[in-house]
Amino acid sequence: MDWDSFKTALFTQGIDPQAVEAGREFVEQEMAWHGSSAHSQSKTDDLGFAECGDITTFQKGVDQLKTIQFYSTVDETERKTQRAWKKFRKEPSKYFKRILLKTFWLTQ
């Protein structure tokens, strides 16, 4: 699956496309680092990040991304929630990016 198809698939599942695009550089760098060994490694590989070890299907990755998105953007007031969304769209957490990487990895 190419990046645009991946982003569309996540959007249809409720993941913010701006946050996905903000994580693109990290995903591309990691995929390039793993290089030609990407298809020879197991889909259960954690890619060097412990939090990715239990994600073995695309849907598990999407569910984890939804959870991260929710907890990253909900705050006690509407104004703080708006700021949290703005921050999340501009620079998602490392955790979100790592789960995004693993989810993309599973589509290759």
Residue 103: pLDDT band with limits 50, 70, 90: very high
| Least reliable range by pLDDT among 3-12, 17-26, 99-108 | 99-108
> Three-state SS string across the chain, please?
CCHHHHHHHHHHCCCCHHHHHHCHHHHHHHHHHHHHHHCCCCCCCCCCCHHHCCCCCHHHHHHHHHHHHHHHHCCCCHHHHHHHHHHHHHCCCHHHHHHHHHHHHCCC
Tens digit of pLDDT for each residue in 19-53?
999 999 999 998 888 765 545 566 677 787 888 88
pTM: 0.89
